[in-house]
Amino acid sequence: MEAIVHPSGRLIWRGQAMRCALGQSGVRVDKEEGDAATPAGLLPLRRILYRADRVPPPRCAMPVEPIAPSDGWCDDPTHRDYNRFVHLPHDARHEELWRRDELYDVIAVLGWNDQPVAKRRGSAIFLHVARADYAPTKGCVALALPDLSRLLAEGVTALRVLAD
């Protein structure tokens, strides 16, 4: 079941609107690495990651895995691990999944540029927890933790992100 994401920062699920944060550069059909835009299109949920030291495992039908301090995501388009989960330390540029803030306490890995991976088409596109003020992301979709938990528990399987 798809949730619809509008470029205005609204996510529609089962007829109800929820506020969401999107990339600071808006939504783009032609997503590129480092452009801070959320990619437009159908983004299936691939797997769910969570911080077991902070939150219980999310209720959902998807595979759920705890993250560890040594977990990361490669965002270096010149590396063979580009747009893939990696263990740290890693020899290429990467994002740490174990963050000091709460943004990655629950992460739904979205199917963007992963089958197959194309260099420079964007990486680490997640559905994750929003900042309290819904500040823009670097390209992800972010929701308040209660809204994110509800979506997962109610069976969301994909986000359809509409273009600007």
* Residue 152 parent element (H or E): helix 145-153
CATH fold, domain 2-161, is L,D-transpeptidase catalytic domain-like (2.40.440)
> Would the pLDDT of 13 be above 90?
yes
Q: How many residues does the chain have?
A: 164
Count other C-beta atoms under 10 Å from residue 112's C-beta: 26
- Reported as a pLDDT band with limits 50, 70 and 90, residue 129 is very high
Say how far apart CA 54 and CA 66 lie, in whole Å.
11
Using the Cα atoms of residue 72, residue 73, residue 75 and residue 78 in order, give the sign of their dihedral: positive
Percent of the chain with pLDDT over 90: 98
pLDDT at 164: 73
What digits encode the pLDDT tens for the residues 79-128?
Answer: 999 999 999 999 999 999 999 999 999 999 999 999 999 999 999 999 99
Residue 82 phi, psi (nearest 5): -50, 135
Domain boundaries, the chain: 2-161
What digits encode the pLDDT tens for the residues 144-160?
Answer: 999 999 999 999 999 99
- Reported as a pLDDT band with limits 50, 70 and 90, residue 15 is very high
Say how far apart CA 128 and CA 94 lie, in whole Å.
17
Whole-prediction pTM value? 0.97
Minimal CA–CA distance to 109: which of 146, 58, 55, 70?
Answer: 58
